[in-house]
Amino acid sequence: MARKIGIIGLGHVGATLLHDLIAGQVFDDYVVIDKDEKKLAADVLDMQDRVANSGQFANFILNDYAALADADIVVSSLGKISLQGNAAKSRFAELPFTSQEVKEVSEKLVASGFSGILMVITNPVDVITQLYQTYTGFPQERVIGTGTLLDTARMKRAVSQRFGLAPTSISGYNLGEHGNSQFTAWSQVRIGQTPIQALLTKEELDQLAEEARMGGHTVFFGKGYTNFAIAAAAKTLIEAVLSNSRAVLPVSHYIAAYGTYLGYPATVGRSGIEATVDLDLSQEESALLDQSAAIIRERVEIAMRGDWESLVL
């Protein structure tokens, strides 16, 4: 049976994800949707020429929501990065635009009969994932955001460079909002089997956390957007679902105790979110997670009301 994915929004991230999936021959059919029809057609033609040169196979369907009915996965990568301006202060700068787009897309997704897994990259991802679930009415376990997958990768990159090891040698998580209130749960981070807190001082850990956080700023300020790392995070999540690997990933999913979506490790399989993983966090980390969840909940409420005057970036 052919595997099919839908990608809604073929900007920097959506196009990079499309390339990565085709290069990995992950799907057979690609339903690509974007309001900029001229760019969409150009991207697809460019990709068809790439496929012709590589010997790979990919079937493209353009701007047809009805074709999503039997898709395994739909990815929301729509956005308007220009709203960030040159400051990159907050991912919430895109919220007035993306929250309205989500309403329209949700209606079309429901009308299409889509019953697969909805994955969200669109920023601010935790708020937008919550909005998608609210507007579509899809089961919470079937609506997943990339969450702190990227933040965790940035932390592992910074730690691995500090110790001269491969990033895969580092375990642990960044938690909370994919944004300014996210944090590294250092109590969970291990170098091999050794807790990092046994190797570095608090000041050194704070410096590493800053290096990880500033990595994203460096990318944004350097080229005005990010694409490779977040597309790789999305591909990791997609493959966990398709393979039913039951991988533990720090993705944005609904946690009843916090009343919202936020980045926290969960077991991911073919049915989506299978279970939230329990972490033994420190008192300080638990407080940080509470604060981050409160920020997400507040922004969801603002978006639902359309009360943009009260939105603080």
Indicate whether 203 and 182 sit together in one domain: yes
Indicate whether 187 and 239 sit together in one domain: yes
10 is in an annotated binding site: yes
206 is in an annotated binding site: no
Whole-number pLDDT of residue 279: 98
164 is in an annotated binding site: no
Indicate whether 43 and 154 sit together in one domain: no
Predicted confidence (pLDDT) per residue in 85-132, tens digit: 655 456 788 999 999 999 999 999 999 999 999 999 999 999 999 999
Could you give the residue numbers annotated as active site?
178
Assessment of whether the complete model's pTM goes beyond 0.85? yes
CB 182 within 8 Å of CB 148: yes
Q: Is residue 281 part of a domain?
A: yes
Indicate whether 54 and 139 sit together in one domain: yes
CB 261 within 8 Å of CB 129: yes
Q: Which long-range contacts (CB under 8 A, 24 or more apart) does 109-116 make?
A: 109/65, 109/68, 109/74, 109/136, 110/136, 110/137, 111/65, 112/65, 112/66, 112/67, 112/68, 112/69, 113/69, 114/6, 114/68, 114/69, 114/71, 114/74, 115/69, 116/71, 116/72, 116/73, 116/74, 116/142
Indicate whether 91 and 204 sit together in one domain: no
- Other CB atoms closer than 10 Å to residue 58's CB: what's the count? 19
Indicate whether 178 and 90 sit together in one domain: no
Phi, psi angles (nearest 5°) of residue 257 = -60, -25
CB 267 within 8 Å of CB 277: yes
Q: Is residue 16 part of a domain?
A: yes
Predicted confidence (pLDDT) per residue in 242-253, tens digit: 999 999 999 999
**Helices 228-242, 149-163: crossing angle, 10 deg rounding:** 110
Indicate whether 192 and 293 sit together in one domain: yes
Predicted confidence (pLDDT) per residue in 159-206, tens digit: 999 999 999 999 999 999 998 899 999 999 999 999 999 999 999 999
CATH of the domain at 96: 3.40.50.720
| Length of the chain counted residue by residue | 313
Indicate whether 163 and 289 sit together in one domain: yes
Indicate whether 122 and 219 sit together in one domain: no
Indicate whether 81 and 158 sit together in one domain: no
CB 223 within 8 Å of CB 195: no
Domain count, the chain: 2
What is the domain extent for residue 87?
A: 4-145
